[in-house]
């Protein structure tokens, strides 16, 4: 058993193509990868929205002025 | 070099490794910048010098005995004696370790491995900043850089190493042989060294000690990424024929190989380097809630987690493995910090050590049954071999030697700086000449300015 289909390198490399594990599951891997990517955006939108909403209510006028002076 | 093809191959290989060495120099530049940026201003000259002096100390010792260990130790001491024949050409007095028209490659191979040695030592250096004595760290640097890591390379990162042969150990881009061992070693040292003053409050709650220069730290880690490209290339043989490999591969097709002389491609490692960097960055950003420095370090930890199998993984596998590794590493870092009150100043134990271990374990499952070597009779890659390898790297050759040497240094009173000096800052204590000179010239300039002001009136 081997996850990439080769159990030894006693082969002619001219006749070898892919050597990554789980060949045949490329589409599934792409789906998993895309879910990871889209999920990342979703988490980021939700978190940033919550953060900004919280931030807009915490502004102290003096502190804001100090930030403006800080440039 | 007889024949045009032989000459071309030799010169190409010689130049290829030479270029990787130049790239890898950036890793050390990056580590220096990262450490200096992470330390407080009152310690930064000391922190810089501590890391810079790793370069000459590890270099000379790697010339004297480190390189010989790699060639003589693949089966020593458990599975055979020293390989005196292979070792002979790599002794410091061998004529091949010098300018020699009959051997054009030993110097660049030596240098490629040497740069890995600097990296191993530099990883340890980061976790102990602001409280270790430089003299103590420099002995650790020699031990991890020119002894312990190169023994693990002989065992598990050599085409004839016993771990490769018997365990099917596979660690193409050094998750274990550089990162797990260095992280384990750093953990052993910081357990004895103790945390920086003020790191933990009286009730044991850890305090954040922010970097004094976040931008220096940012550039530092980007330089480490850049140098890591060179590291990846240096772990490969760029072009070799089946005849030269002398294993089971048939036919006449030349190939790039990993360190074990098993086939891979530069294309594969380019895909996988970038996808694992990306997976690491994305996961670290989420898990750290956008913390800049954990995000950057997570990129590095992602690559390190995927490195054991990045010669063979599919790019999406590399990305997911990197992301999984980063989530584990981040949580483990804070759990260990809270539970054991350990101060890993730059997260080196986590980013290198835990990521390396996790990467080895995952690769054992994902690459189960894949041949580790082109040679007959070698074990194939398997979870038990990879987990055993991770224990050998992190604990046996990393943690234990670091802990024992630190204990000896501590007992001798030469490990940690005095508390008074720690509070005052090492730059004043050890670089007082610089501080005094600075104070004197500032006072003189002020005096001059005041005198001119008086004269003008």
Q: Which residues in chain A are closer than 8 Å to B279, comparing Cβ atoms?
A: 36
Which of B440, B37, B28, B395 shows the shortest CA–CA distance to B228?
B28
The overall average pLDDT reported for chain B is: 95
Are A7 and B380 inside 8 Å of each other by CB?
A: yes
Least CB–CB distance from A13: residue in B255, B285, B376: B255
Nearest to A3 among B255, B286, B370 (CB): B370
In this prediction, residue B428 carries a pLDDT of: 79
**Contact across the interface for B255 and A12, Cβ inside 8 Å:** no
Q: A21 and B316 in contact by Cβ < 8 A?
A: no
A60 — pLDDT class (breaks 50, 70, 90): confident
What's residue B457's pLDDT? 64
Which residues have a Cβ under 8 Å from the Cβ of B441 and sit 6 or more positions away?
none
> What does the pLDDT look like over B327-369, one tens digit per residue?
999 999 999 999 999 999 999 999 999 999 999 999 999 999 9
> What is the C-alpha end-to-end distance of chain B, expressed in Å?
81
User: Distance (Å) from the C-alpha of residue A41 to the closest C-alpha of chain B?
Assistant: 10
Report the pLDDT value the prediction gives residue A27, as an integer from 0 to 100: 98
Domain residue extents for chain A: 24-70
CA distance B28 to B295: 20
Q: Which of B4-18, B323-337, B410-424 has the lowest mean pLDDT?
A: B4-18
Q: Which of B249, B319, B370 sits opposite A2 (nearest CB)?
A: B370
Residue B156, pLDDT > 90, answer yes
pLDDT > 90: what percent of chain B? 91
- Residue B2 confidence class, pLDDT cut points 50, 70, 90: low
Q: Are A44 and B286 inside 8 Å of each other by CB?
A: yes
Handedness of CA B96, B98, B104, B108 (dihedral sign): positive
B85–chain A nearest CA distance, Å: 27
pTM of the model: 0.94
Q: What pLDDT is stored for residue A71 in this prediction?
A: 75
**CB neighbours of B224 closer than 8 A, spacing ≥ 6?**
B26, B27, B30, B31, B34, B300
Q: Which fold has domain B4-241+252-414?
A: Ammonium transporter fold (1.10.3430)
Contact A29 B253 (CB under 8 A): no
In angstroms, the CA B35 to CA B346 distance is 8
What is the mean predicted confidence (pLDDT) over B272-291? 97
State the pLDDT at residue B117.
98
The model's pLDDT over B413-423, given as tens digits with 9 standing for 90+, comes to: 999 999 999 99
Cα distance between residue B265 and residue B272, in whole Å = 11
The alpha carbon of residue B306 is apart from the nearest alpha carbon of chain A, in Å, by 13
Q: Residue B170 has what pLDDT?
A: 98
The Cα–Cα gap between B445 and B439 comes to: 10
Chain A 4-63, CB below 8 Å of chain B: which residues?
4, 6-16, 19-22, 26, 29-30, 32-33, 36-37, 40, 43-44, 47
Q: What is the mean pLDDT of residues B440-444?
A: 94
Task: Report the pLDDT averaged over residues B93-111.
Answer: 95
pLDDT at position B286 over 90? yes
Spatial CB neighbours of B73, under 8 Å, sequence gap ≥ 6:
B82, B83, B150, B151, B154, B155
Selecting from B250, B286, B370 the residue whose C-beta is nearest the C-beta of A11 gives B250
pLDDT at B128 over 90: yes
Nearest C-alpha neighbor of B178 from the set B360, B367, B372: B360
Taking residues B20-37, report their average pLDDT.
Answer: 96
Q: Domain residue spans in chain B? A: 4-241+252-414, 425-457
B1 pLDDT exceeds 60? Answer: no
At B433 the pLDDT is 77
Question: Is there a contact between B376 and A26 if contact means CB atoms under 8 Å apart?
Answer: no
Asked whether the beta carbons of residue B250 and residue A22 sit closer than 8 angstroms, the reply is no
In this complex, do B249 and A10 lie within 8 Å of one another by their Cβ atoms?
A: yes
> B34, B224 in Cβ contact below 8 A?
yes
- Report the distance separating Cα A59 and Cα B418, nearest Å: 44
Interface of B with A (CB under 8 A): 242, 247-253, 255, 262-264, 268, 279, 282, 285-286, 289-290, 312-314, 316-317, 319-320, 323, 366-371, 373-374, 376, 380
Contact between B161 and B372 under an 8 Å Cβ cutoff? The reply is no
Verify whether the Cβ–Cβ distance B370 to A30 is below 8 Å: no
Instruction: With cut-offs at 50, 70 and 90, classify the pLDDT of residue B39.
Output: very high
Q: Which residues of B touch A7 (CB under 8 A)?
A: 369-371, 380
Contact across the interface for B320 and A36, Cβ inside 8 Å = yes
């Amino acid at each position: 058993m081997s996850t990439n289909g080769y159990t030894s390198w006693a082969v002619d490399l001219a006749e070898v193509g892919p050597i990554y594990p789980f060949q045949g599951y490329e589409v599934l891997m792409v789906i998993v990868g895309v879910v990871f990517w889209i999920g990342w955006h979703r988490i980021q939108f939700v978190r940033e929205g919550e953060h900004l909403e919280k931030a807009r209510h915490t502004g102290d006028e003096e502190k804001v002025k100090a930030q403006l002076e800080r440039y | 070099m007889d024949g045009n093809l032989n000459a071309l191959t030799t010169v190409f290989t010689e130049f290829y490794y030479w270029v990787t060495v130049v790239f890898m120099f950036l890793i050390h530049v990056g580590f220096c910048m990262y450490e200096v940026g992470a330390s407080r201003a009152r310690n930064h000259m000391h922190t810089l010098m501590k890391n810079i002096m790793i370069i000459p100390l590890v270099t000379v010792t790697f010339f004297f005995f480190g390189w010989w260990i790699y060639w003589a130790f693949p089966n020593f001491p458990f599975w055979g004696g020293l390989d005196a024949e292979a070792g002979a050409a790599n002794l410091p007095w061998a004529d091949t370790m010098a300018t020699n028209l009959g051997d054009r490659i030993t110097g660049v191979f030596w240098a490629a491995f040497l740069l890995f040695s600097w990296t191993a030592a530099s990883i340890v250096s980061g976790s102990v900043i602001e409280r270790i004595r430089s003299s103590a760290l420099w002995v650790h640097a020699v031990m991890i850089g020119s002894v312990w890591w190169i023994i693990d390379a002989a065992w598990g990162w050599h085409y004839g190493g016993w771990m490769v042969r018997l365990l099917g150990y596979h660690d193409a881009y050094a998750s274990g042989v550089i990162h797990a061992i260095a992280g384990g070693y750093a953990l052993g040292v910081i357990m004895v060294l103790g945390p920086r003053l003020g790191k933990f409050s009286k009730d044991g709650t850890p305090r954040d000690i922010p970097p004094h220069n976040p931008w220096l730290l940012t550039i530092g880690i980007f330089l480490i990424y850049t140098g890591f490209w060179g590291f990846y290339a240096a772990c490969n043989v760029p072009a070799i024929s089946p005849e030269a490999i002398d294993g089971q591969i048939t036919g006449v097709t030349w190939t790039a190989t990993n360190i074990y002389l098993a086939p891979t491609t530069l294309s594969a490692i380019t895909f996988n380097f970038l996808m694992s960097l990306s997976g690491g960055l994305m996961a670290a950003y989420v898990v750290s809630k956008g913390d800049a420095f954990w995000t950057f370090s997570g990129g590095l930890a992602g690559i390190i987690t995927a490195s054991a199998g990045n010669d063979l993984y599919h790019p999406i596998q590399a990305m997911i493995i990197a992301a999984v590794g980063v989530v584990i590493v981040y949580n483990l870092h804070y759990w260990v910090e809270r539970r054991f009150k350990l101060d890993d100043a730059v997260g080196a134990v986590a980013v290198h050590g835990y990521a390396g271990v996790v990467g080895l374990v995952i690769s054992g499952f994902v690459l189960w049954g894949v041949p580790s070597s082109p040679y007959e009779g070698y074990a194939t890659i398997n979870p038990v071999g990879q987990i055993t390898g991770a224990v050998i790297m992190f604990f046996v050759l990393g943690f234990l030697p670091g802990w024992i040497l630190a204990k000896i240094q501590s007992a001798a009173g030469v490990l940690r700086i005095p508390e008074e000096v720690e509070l005052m800052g090492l730059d004043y204590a050890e670089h007082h000449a610089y501080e005094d000179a600075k104070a004197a010239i500032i006072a003189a300039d002020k005096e001059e300015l005041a005198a001119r002001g008086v004269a003008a009136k």
